[in-house]
Structure 1
Amino acid sequence: MMIDKDGGPVRDPRQDPSFDPVGESKRLLRGIRTATLATLTEAGAPFATLTAIATDHDGTPILLLSRLAHHTRNLERDGRCSLLLPQGGRGDPMAHPRLTLVARAARSQSPGARARFLARNPKAQLYADFPDFSFWRAEVEAAHLNGGFARAADFGPAALLTDIGGAESLLAAEADILGHMNADHADALALYAEKLAGVKPGNWRASGIDPEGLDLICGDETARVAFPTPIKNPAESREVLVELAKLARG
């Protein structure tokens, strides 16, 4: 699949018209918590490893890396990297969707990036403050989706990432929104996960919110609830979360 002048995919008329490559890619980006990270060695050879991942409000991947690791030293020398986010599941692994990102990584001192990562990966709080660990943002330069047979697409970052312009009040209120939902509306979160995201019942908690959706975690499981339309502020978040609860109960 080709890329149009705005960085979005150009649809192949032979593909299933129900195939939504951007929507599927956003789901994988926001829903997967473990990715393969490929970096470049000093000799220029590819070096792949496994790493935990979270996303910033706009969808940019966030990593927590130790300087003792080969891949971190590779990134310090050359920030070019690739991330593979596979859905996995039963049956033929090649039949499940996976998203490949081409990116350029750099250290981040953003408190927001730290908070987003630790909310998504709470076990990482045990070592996040070790002196050799640091947070990194992997700025996406290109994306490739393999959604299974005859379901592939290539596109630029503008199509994949979330526009957070004008959503400053929503992002600033994220901790309060999540705290309120987790403390007072655990039943609604469980309904979102089971009825709207289609995952198993459990003690689901909200780990992040952005203009396009709500991220949920339950142990090592994750779920993503996409909003019907983007939101920009806390008032709109309350409205959409109430409407989604009504929809889930219905």
Structure 2
Amino acid sequence: MTESAPAAITPRGLELGGSAPDDFEPVAMARATLRKARIAALATLDPTSGFPLATLTNIATDVDGSPLFLASKLSLHTRNIEADPRISVLVSSLGRGDPLANSARLSVVGRAEHCTDTNAKRRFLARHPKAKLYADFPDFSLFRLSVLGLHPNGGFARAGAIAVDEVLLDLKGCEALIAAEDGAVAHMNDDHAEALELYATKLLGLPEGRWKATGLDPEGLDLVYGDENGRLVFPERVTDPARLRQVLVMLAQQARGQI
């Protein structure tokens, strides 16, 4: 007798009935949904009533995949965070038809922390360039979600139990790549716009346009064009600038071969 798949587990640890089908890959879905998300529902706790408040926020990811968001202390959700940093965000990749049946979504729970890392801020603003108009206002702060739990859902009967370290990246040994990220992204945008468009259109099947890179990490390159976005997953883990260059050249050659 073969063992059945374990029941899905929420971030609280509460077991849910049933099991996901064998073709559902919750870790891959969670990684893709989180990296491609540009907006999220943000849930905070009202310190007086204890009731949750759901609002909408722009979102990006840090190098390891941790969610980043910008918030003003004039907003109610920021006041809630300052009183109780426990929050959750819901990100989704909407499909056609019934969104409950056809959309991938990921709930992420943890604690909101003020983030002063300059590269994290660059990643956020590259994802949301209009935020440059107000990001440096004194009432705005960048927050990073210190992730404690994840709950992926790919539609009806498609939920899975995953651990945080299965989704967030271990950056040990990637220091050189992280240090080179800003320059590498700028170089791709300034000198290799054609390659970026080829990645998007030929490898990812996305519309033609002036695609730009917003960030990179050991597992992939994030791309945006207007309201469109894409995630180019590398064929292998990349840990240094030299190997990054080789992988990007190889992928560009692969894309050109499809013209």
Maintained 8 Å contact 1:174/1:209: yes
Find out whether 1:172 has 2:179 as its counterpart: yes
Matches within 5 A, 1:208-247: 208-247=215-254
Aligned to 1:83, what secondary structure does the other structure show? Answer: strand
Aligned residues: 243
Structure 1 residues 13, 48: closer, same or farther in 2, change over 3 A? closer
RMSD: 1.8
The corresponding residue for 1:132 is 139
**Runs of 4+ with >3 A deviation:** 1-4, 12-18
Supply the distance in 1 between the matched residues of 2:104 and 2:95 (Cα, whole angstroms): 10
The corresponding residue for 1:59 is 65
Instruction: Structure 1: state its 5+ residue gaps.
Output: 5-11
Q: What amino acid maps onto 1:210 in structure 2?
A: D
Supply the distance in 2 between the matched residues of 1:50 and 1:154 (Cα, whole angstroms): 26
Maintained 8 Å contact 2:211/2:225: yes
Supply the distance in 2 between the matched residues of 1:59 and 1:204 (Cα, whole angstroms): 21
Aligned to 1:152, what secondary structure does the other structure show? Answer: coil
**1:86-109, CA deviations, whole angstroms, 9 ceiling, x for partnerless residues?**
112432111211111111101111
Matches within 5 A, 1:67-216: 67-94=73-100, 95-216=102-223
Q: Identity over aligned residues, as a percent?
A: 51
The corresponding residue for 1:7 is none
1:36 counterpart (34, 41, 52): 41
Instruction: Structure 2: state its 5+ residue gaps.
Output: 1-5, 10-16
Supply the distance in 2 between the matched residues of 1:49 and 1:212 (Cα, whole angstroms): 30
The corresponding residue for 2:3 is none
Computing the radius of gyration from Cα coordinates, the structure with the larger value is: 2
Supply the distance in 2 between the matched residues of 1:71 and 1:205 (Cα, whole angstroms): 31
Find out whether 1:17 has 2:22 as its counterpart: yes
**1:195-240, CA deviations, whole angstroms, 9 ceiling, x for partnerless residues?**
2222222110011010010000111221100111111010011011
Supply the distance in 1 between the matched residues of 2:29 and 2:220 (Cα, whole angstroms): 14
Q: Give the TM-score taking structure 1 as reference length.
A: 0.92
Superposed displacement of residue 13, structure 1: 11
Maintained 8 Å contact 2:66/2:144: yes
Maintained 8 Å contact 2:195/2:252: yes
Q: What amino acid maps onto 1:20 in structure 2?
A: E
Q: Give the TM-score taking structure 2 as reference length.
A: 0.89
Superposed displacement of residue 34, structure 1: 0.3
Aligned to 2:74, what secondary structure does the other structure show? Answer: coil
Supply the distance in 1 between the matched residues of 2:154 and 2:256 (Cα, whole angstroms): 31
Maintained 8 Å contact 1:79/1:105: yes
Supply the distance in 2 between the matched residues of 1:13 and 1:133 (Cα, whole angstroms): 43
Superposed displacement of residue 16, structure 1: 4.0
Supply the distance in 2 between the matched residues of 1:109 and 1:80 (Cα, whole angstroms): 19
